[in-house]
Structure 1
Amino acid sequence: MTGETHNSMSGHADVVVQAGHIGELHHHLHAAAASEQPVPFQVPPALVHFENRQDEQDRIARAAESHGSHAGPLVVALTGIGGIGKTALGFHVARQHSEKYPHGVLYVDLDDLRRDGVVEVADALGELLTALDTSPDCLARSFADRSKQYWTRTRDKRLIVVIDNARYGAEVAPLLPASAGSLAIVTSQGLLYDLGGVAAVEVPVNPLAVDEAVRLLGHIVDDPRLAAEPDALTQLAHGCGGLPAALQVAGQWVRKYRRRSLSRLIGELSTELHEKGIPMVEAVWDAAYAGLGPEAARLYRLLPQHPAPVVTGPDAAALLGGRLQPAEDALEELEVAGLLESRPEGYRMHDLLRGHADRRAGQDDPDGTDRAEARQGLIRWYRRQSARADLLAAGPRMTFAEPSAVVRDIPDVEFTDKTAALRWLESRRLALYGCVRVAFETGLYEDAWALCEPLWTHFLDHPHYADVTDAFRTGVAAADRLEHLPAMVRMRCQLARPLWEQERYDEAAEHLHTALAAAGALGESTQERKLTASAVEFQGLLKSAQGDWAGAAQDFTAAKEAHEAIGNAYGVLLQTYLLGRAALGQGEAGAAVALLTEAHRMAQEQDRERMTARTGFELGRALRRAGRPAEAVPLVRAALVGARDRGSDSDEVRVLKESAALAEELGETAEAERYRTAARLLATRSGSLPEEGQSS
């Protein structure tokens, strides 16, 4: 095998590794790939209206200048009440200082990942690692391993990491980058006392002073009335309590009524204040709400029913139960009124305004009928779209929920291909997982567990453990409420996998024990017998994860016999493959070769492209262990081609390491070292842990 560097037509410097004995097996690595990756910049564009809080900015700048000799990253904690502008200030500082931190600006909102008050920090690390260009298939499963990946990816880097809506130091400390040259900006309503020995520069963010609030209103409203009626302007600024979230709405409200004097507008608010005893801030929001058209006002009341922070046009249409265009018009009207903020991914509502919208809904919809219908419409729409995305992404597979009907007047999402379907599932995951919770809380139990079925495909590619564990626990509870036996079995099996991947083996085993007991009450239909075999397979997979290969083989054998009895050819193929892997795990290379040869033949006959690649690779490994490396060469070659065609970095690293082991067996030590080098380079580029993907 020879290695050389050459300039390709694209201008990349490619390292080509090619083996003599391994035929055409080769690997192209773009040496410049890491430097050519776009630098992450995850904060939104600058606000048109921002009071820049110069004192706070100066304090942060001084801390950054004096930080150089410290061991860890600079941590700046912006603290203050909700609506005070902490996030906006954090974004502004990140934008202002981004040139000093050339490796990127990352952002994570812990409230998006909070379940029952607790953040699954592993999921937050997953978001940050993905932003750092870690391939999804290379993302470590456990919190400990993700921490190692994060330290590796952030070491010697100059990054800004904005950590929004923290409540405890313990959920912040694992998200701090490893380099002393980085800056972490943390927003929190209170002081973070438990940062684990990390010193933070506390920067209180107080309400805007009246003169600052007046300036901000002047930026929002370019109107001569402000200069003509300074007393009224001061009264409005004071009444908003120095909260930028309130001043934004107040400014847009003033802009809307350009023909009324400012004194008259303020007088109306003062009447509300004195006659009804409500704060002026609430009166400002009430006034903005009163100026909305009927459809926008209704959407405003319904938005708190949406379980995710970002709302899109189809979401709004589903809530309103109507056509897409009026819903999009209503969203734009709410943005113009200052009641929504537009982002590239959709619209967001401030928590303070969400609370006001909820209060208005309670007044205008006292029995909750409109809100219940909105929740149901949203859930049914997401159930249908996620099932459609899952079918395109994974193809026909074992599911038990009835197909969802078209939701009236709301168009289906147009998925162009499998990639687009998977991308949609990931982009809307907070809404999807949120709909599972809302469906259960609303008593829509069938919808709750049915929504979990398409989330299985999403989980296999994107292991957001807090979300998936919460969703499938809810799915289990929903299936139990309905006593839907197939769903009771399926939900428990699917819950078990994220549990054992987090090394919660006892809990996973308990759910599988219950699933198998429930499976005993299933009928004799082909689908029910297939489900029983699947539950046995899951038990075998749990044993495999614990290294109990002998026990796993017993389960895979039982599952195989069940699939043979019902004539399920793919089930027989899968169990034969798993039995081959179990034999390898037990060191029985000869038995593994026989089983994997049969599995590989079946995969080819069934035209199962992915399984052909998987069985071929495992057969190659078995042949090498059995002392037959020459026979393994074409199989490993095909596995590498398949991994590259799929774009799976983790599979490619695994095949490269197996190629190195194979070259060693063939006496090609130089080639083996080149393969190991290529594997290390790709693992580094894709974010894999050094110990992942080892061949044995």
Structure 2
Amino acid sequence: MAEETHNSLDGRADVVVQAGHIDALHQHLHGTVAPEQPVPFQLPPALAHFEDRQAEQERILRAAESHAGDGSPLVVALSGIGGIGKTALGFHVARRLSRRYPDGVLYVDLDDLRRDGVVEVADAVAQLLTGLGVTPEWLERSFAGRSKQYWTRTRDKRLIVIIDNARYGSEAVPLLPASAGSLAIVTSQGALYDLDGTAPVEVPVNPLALDHAARLLARIVDDHRLPAEPDAAAALVRGCGGLPAALNVAGQWVRKYRRRSLSRLVEELTAELRERGIPMVEAVWDAAYAGLDQEAARLYRLLSLHPAPVVTDPAAAALLGVGQQRAVDALEELESAGLLERRSEGCRMHDLLRGHAARRAREADPDGAERAEARRALIRWYRRQSGRADLMAAGPRMTLAELPEPVADVPDVEFSTKTEALRWLESQRLALYGCVRLSFDSGLDEDAWALCEPLWTHFLDHPHYADVTDAFATGVAAADRLEHLPAMVRMRCQLARPLWEQQRYDEAAEHLRRALNASEALGGSGPERKLRASAVEFGGLLKLAMGELEGAATDFDAALRIHTAIENAYGVLLQTHLLGRTALRQGEVGRAVTLLSDAHRMAREQRRERMTARTGFELGRALRRAGRAAEAEDLVRAALRSARDRGSTADEARVLEELAGLADDRGATAEAAENRALARLLAARAGGPADGGQSS
């Protein structure tokens, strides 16, 4: 297996150093410490047009002024139907109150994290922690651990936390900050009756009154026809039902058809409403859809297939089956019509509009042929890009699926560095995880499990456990349904790791038992024997995680024999390293030195930079315990340089702790204290444990 398989750390705590402990240290260690985290302000630019909501705003402001801070944050619950403007109101109030809450504004959209109607709250907590400066490598793995991190990071803060699109109070309660001086704004379509223990200030958000809606429309579109045809304008406003979202679409519609009389537009809208017999807002969207050209209308329908809230330009081109520029033109028309919202990362379609697009797709494509073709192209494009990103980020490694051919007329994403590839995987994770499920549900089983291979590389740096566990379980089901024996082994090994990292040891053990049994039926070729060695290695890693050191050593030794027999040099290196680490944990220092010396030599010979640093660090730890501190210090300092070059604060903190121990051994107490302080500072700023210590 690739070296990333073993990039795990333990020994974490849930308390971080307070900023007051590090001011002097920051000056003393200038140049080695990351800059202070900026105060988070996760609000988009203010809307150019915001109307009324005075009663709602005043009620929230009064609650903020009178909140006693009796141990719980102030919770404001905004409820109303989709498109009513709850989020815009929450953003508007947050801006008004931001001076009262100087520690920042955080935002999380639960619909972005929802799968099959369920939110994995641990991932929502992780997103909020990220806003507070916690980097992915320092996130706790369990929900309980992340909750403690969140409580620690928000304690004594004056924050605003906006929790958007909650369906149940139980989704929002774990996301409330721990400070009584904070404000949480929760939006939902219906009232949340299970916001237990919060005594929320409930603020229903109702449709705008006609006069307010008319003023909002006039602000959205400055058009002479509105005052010139007041009756038609009033009819148009009434047709929007007081929903700001509908008024925005209507405004775009009026702006687009500047040569038509307003009376004619209203007449056409009314006719459309009568013919289809659908609600007012649906009629507005239908009218906007009817005004699209053929290509934009087809893309609008197909966007209902995209498995993530935001679609990028090339993904739209894959759906549409045309060149990227034509897809960009179609997206621009949809944006102009008010059917898409342009964001920095791509275009976002509101859920209500996604449903509307799906209805239009079923009407235009009753047998589903157009949608099936678009679905296959989209999945193939994502599978190809993720495979390319994996190759750039992880380098050549054991993979079973071949890279698909390019999608006609759709460009590949350019990855010039490992960092760019990893960032792309993270930015597109919702789409990639969604494509695994979409593939499986569409009967595209090879695509389903093949997509899981590059998601392994992403998982090692970004442990979104709910997503990855669901995806890898789907990969297992797809491999089973296809009866693809190597994939059955591979997918079960991949699924086992997130399971054991969540302390679901029995489930992990069962999957590895079945993987090992399946591997017995593999043939005798080099790749098949390599896959069996991988399954054996995963069994050892599970035992190592559970503290079963003798069993782990036995498995690593068995995997080593296989890699030696098939002359797989990297496999020999990796198992030798794992055996050395295990020996050190068993207290067999001399044997650990021998094994880790061999592993370090092999890593240098194979020019594996990261493994050279990892094996060097472990060898340094073993040499120190063997009383060979001078040799150890050179290796540990080399590991420190590598960690800093890679930007890994977790590795840097761990190495600094080891350097502190070496300094203690030399009697250099000031140097030891300095290294420990810097390790704790790095850990605190990244959201890790306060003591900075990480065990291997």
Distance in 1 (alpha carbons) for counterparts of 2:550 and 2:519? 23
State the alpha-carbon separation in 2 of the partners of residues 159 and 318 from structure 1: 42
- 1:147, 1:157 → 2: CA distance? 16
Q: Which moved more, 1:554-563 or 1:225-234?
A: 225-234
8 Å contact kept, 1:15–1:28: no
Name the CA distance, whole Å, in 2 between partners of 1:695 and 1:405.
43
For residues 152-551 of structure 1, the aligned pairs below 5 Å read: 152-551=152-551
Residue 276 to residue 681, structure 1, CA distance change in 2 (3 Å): closer
3-state SS of the aligned residue for 1:178?
Answer: coil
**Does 1:49 pair with 2:49?**
yes
Q: Which moved more, 1:105-114 or 1:269-278?
A: 269-278
Q: Which moved more, 1:272-281 or 1:328-337?
A: 272-281
Distance in structure 2 (CA, Å) of the matches to 1:140 and 1:13: 26
Displacement of 1:304: 0.4
1:655 and 2:655 matched: yes
- More deviation in 80-89 or 545-554? 80-89
> Which gives a bigger RCO, structure 1 or 2 (Cα 8 Å, sep 6+)?
2
CA contact (8 A) 1:52 1:89 kept: no
What's the CA shift for 1:531?
0.6
* Paired AA for residue 125 in structure 1: V
Q: Which secondary structure does the structure 2 equivalent of 1:623 belong to? A: helix
Task: Please name the residue that 1:85 is paired with.
Answer: 85
Amino acid at match of 2:485: L
Q: Is this contact kept in 2: 1:245–1:350, CA < 8 A?
A: no
Query: What is the alpha-carbon distance in structure 1 between the residues aligned to residue 691 and residue 148 of structure 2?
Result: 11
Contact 2:165 2:188 in 1 (8 A): yes
Shift of 1:674: 2.4
1:161-218 deviations in whole A, cap 9, x for unaligned?
2111112222212212222232221111222233341232111111112222111111
Q: 1:467 to 1:154 in 2, by over 3 A?
A: same
Q: Output one character per residue of 1:9-43: Cα deviation in whole Å (capped at 9) or x when no partner.
A: xxx96424xxxxxxxxxx9544x822xx3333222
- Distance in 1, Cα, partners of 2:209 & 2:570: 69
With 527-536 and 160-169 compared, the bigger mean Cα shift is at: 160-169
Q: After superposition, where does 1:590-669 map in structure 2 within 5 Å?
A: 590-669=590-669
> Which stretch of the first structure deviates more once superposed, 57-66 or 517-526?
57-66
1:225: Cα distance to partner? 2.1
Q: Are 2:46 and 1:15 aligned?
A: no
Using the TM superposition, name which of 276-285 and 340-349 deviates more: 276-285
Report the Cα offset of residue 458 of structure 1.
0.7
Report the Cα distance in structure 1 between the residues aligned to 2:35 and 2:323, rounded to whole angstroms: 45
- Does the 8 Å CA contact 2:272/2:287 hold for their aligned counterparts? no
Q: Which amino acid aligns with 1:97?
A: L
Cα distance between partner residues in 1 of 2:667 and 2:272: 88
Most deviating of 464-473 and 219-228: 219-228
> What's the TM-score once normalised by structure 2's chain length?
0.93
Hey, what does 1:122 align to over in structure 2? 122
Opposite residue 501 of structure 1, the aligned amino acid is: E
Asked if the contact 2:680–2:691 (Cα under 8 Å) also holds between the matched residues in 1, the reply is no
1:101-136, CA deviations, whole angstroms, 9 ceiling, x for partnerless residues?
Answer: 333222111111112222111111221222222222
In 2, Cα distance between equivalents of 1:684 and 1:279: 53
Q: Kindly indicate whether the alpha-carbon contact (under 8 Å) linking 1:14 and 1:29 is maintained by their aligned counterparts in 2.
A: no
Alignment partners' CA distance in 2, 1:283 and 1:118: 30
Q: 1:603 touches 1:609 (CA, 8 Å); kept in 2?
A: yes
Q: Is the 8 A contact 2:657 2:692 kept in 1?
A: no
3-state SS, counterpart of residue 172 of structure 1: helix
- Does the Cα contact within 8 Å between 1:449 and 1:476 map onto a contact in 2? yes
TM-score, structure 1 normalization:
0.93
Looking at structure 1, the residues matched to 567 and 52 of structure 2 have their Cα atoms a distance apart, in angstroms, of 70
Report the Cα distance in structure 2 between the residues aligned to 1:53 and 1:435, rounded to whole angstroms. 40
Contact kept, 8 Å, 1:81 with 1:189, in 2: the verdict is: yes
Deviations 1:506-532 (A, max 9, x none): 111111111111111111111111010
Please give the alpha-carbon distance, in whole angstroms, between the structure 1 residues aligned to 2:659 and 2:647: 18
CA 1:213–1:583: 2 relative to 1, 3 Å: same
Cα distance in 2 for residues equivalent to 1:124 and 1:572? 40
2:178 alignment partner, SS class = coil
Partner residue, 1:131: 131
Secondary structure, in 3 states, of the residue corresponding to 1:186? Answer: strand
* Letter matched to residue 141 of structure 2: R
Mapped to 2, the partners of 1:395 and 1:275 lie a distance apart of: 58
Change (3 A) 1:530 1:310: same
Unaligned runs of 5+ in 2: 1-24
- Structure 2 counterpart of 1:33, from 31, 35, 43: 35
Classify 1:71/1:476 alpha carbon distance in 2 versus 1 (closer, same or farther; 3 Å): same
Report the Cα distance in structure 1 between the residues aligned to 2:280 and 2:194, rounded to whole angstroms. 37
User: In the alignment, residue 232 of structure 1 is paired with which amino acid?
Assistant: A
Q: CA deviation at 1:68?
A: 4.9
> Larger deviation: 220-229 or 410-419?
220-229
Deviation string 1:556-579 (CA, Å, 9 cap, x unpaired) is: 010011101100111111111111
Provide structure 1 residue ranges, at least 5 long, that are not aligned to the other structure. Answer: 1-11, 17-26
Quick one: which amino acid aligns to residue 73 of structure 2?
Answer: P
Using a 3 Å threshold, how does the CA distance of structure 1 residues 321 and 275 change in structure 2: closer, same or farther?
Answer: closer
Q: How far apart are 1:272 and its partner, in Å?
A: 3.1
The 2-side partners of 1:132 and 1:478 are apart by 38
User: Compared with structure 1, are the counterparts of its residues 395 and 694 closer, same or farther at alpha carbon in structure 2 (3 Å cutoff)?
Assistant: closer
Equivalent residue for 1:59? 59
The letter for the 2-side match of 1:687 is G
Q: In the aligned structure 2, how far is the partner of 1:257 from the partner of 1:630?
A: 79
Which moved further from structure 2: 402-411 or 187-196? 187-196
Q: Which residue does the alignment assign to 1:19?
A: none
Letter in 2 for 1:543: K
Aligned to 2:6: none
CA contact (8 A) 1:51 1:216 kept: yes
Most deviating of 559-568 and 246-255: 246-255
2:305 and 2:375 in contact (8 A); partners too: yes
Contact 1:657 1:695 in 2 (8 A): no
Distance change (3 Å), C-alpha of 1:283 and 1:170:
closer
Q: CA shift at 1:275, angstroms?
A: 4.4
Matching residue of 1:8: none
**TM-align CA RMSD:** 1.9
Contact 1:269 1:280 in 2 (8 A): no
Q: Quick one: distance in 2 between partners of 1:69 and 1:157?
A: 12
User: What number of residue pairs does the alignment pair up?
Assistant: 673
SS at match of 2:165: strand
Cα distance in 1 between the residues matched to 2:282 and 2:685: 52
Aligned-pair identity (%): 75
Secondary structure (helix, strand or coil) at the match of 1:410 reads coil
Describe the SS at the equivalent of 1:499.
helix
When residues 486 and 52 of structure 1 are mapped into structure 2, their CA distance, relative to the original with a 3 A threshold, is farther
> Counterpart of 1:122 in 2: which secondary structure?
helix
Partner of 2:13: none
Give how far 1:388 is off. Answer: 0.7
- Structure 2 CA distance for aligned equivalents of residues 296 and 275 of structure 1: 23
- The residue matched to 2:161 in structure 1 has which SS? strand
* 2:4 match: none
Structure 1 residue 605: Cα displacement:
1.8
1:692 is displaced (CA, Å) by 5.8
Residue equivalent to 2:8? none
Tell me if the contact between 1:590 and 1:626 (Cα under 8 Å) persists in the aligned partners.
Answer: yes
